[in-house]
Amino acid sequence: MALAVTGASGAGYSLRLLEHLIAAEQRVWLMLSDAGRIVMEMEESLSLPDSISEQQQILAELFGAEEGQLLLYGKNDWLSPAASGSSAARAMVVCPCSMGTLSSIAHGSSDNLLERAADVIIKERRELILVPRETPYSTIHLENMAKLSKLGVVILPPNPGFYQHPKSIQDLVDFIVARILDQLNIEHRLLPAWADDI
């Protein structure tokens, strides 16, 4: 499983998703952009050092990952397994996904590992989920999303529902993380099933 975090607002989604992927005993290849790390500190008060290995250690300890379960890769780590179709992850989530990253993926730029990993997922016909955090969407954004959707990419904007009567921001975050986990067919207890909630 590959998880990429960009500099769009919404670091809480990525951290909560990582927490649940680790809890579900998924092996995670994490790609954290420099901008994503800055936003993580701004929004979640989580300060991570420049060193990839130190970032990996801090996040592994934070979420109780087993040794080797969480592996971080830098933007220029072209030897990462995520960069090759012969070892592509079964699925990849970009959460949150900036419009710049979405555009690069839509146009096959592959200028860094995150973009290359997404390109590999598309060409290998694996599952790619993008969580675009922007509002309002411009026509350019919508056209890029439509292009990716036609390729089978799941576009999952972080638009929470309110029928579950959320009591906190965490409830709203969990709603979106639950939807991502549903797409990945990973069991969770973040939300009751619809039939159980009415």
What is the domain count for the chain?
A: 1
Q: Is the dihedral of CA 146, 149, 153, 159 positive or negative?
A: positive
Q: 32 pairs with which residues across the strands?
A: 5
Domain that holds residue 192: 2-197
Q: How confident is the model at residue 1 (pLDDT cuts 50, 70, 90)?
A: very high
Nearest to 141 by CA among 103, 97, 105: 103
pLDDT over 60 (residue 197): no
What is the percent of the chain with per-residue pLDDT over 70, rounded to a whole number? 97
Quote the pLDDT of residue 164: 87
> What's the CATH number where 117 sits?
3.40.50.1950
145: which DSSP letter?
Answer: H
Q: How confident is the model at residue 84 (pLDDT cuts 50, 70, 90)?
A: very high
Are residues 74 and 113 in contact, defined by beta-carbon separation less than 8 angstroms?
Answer: yes
Q: How far apart are CA 128 and CA 30, in angstroms?
A: 14
Question: In terms of pTM, does the model score above 0.85?
Answer: yes
Quote the pLDDT of residue 88: 85
Supply 34's token pair.
């420099």
pLDDT over 90 (residue 130): yes
Q: How confident is the model at residue 64 (pLDDT cuts 50, 70, 90)?
A: very high
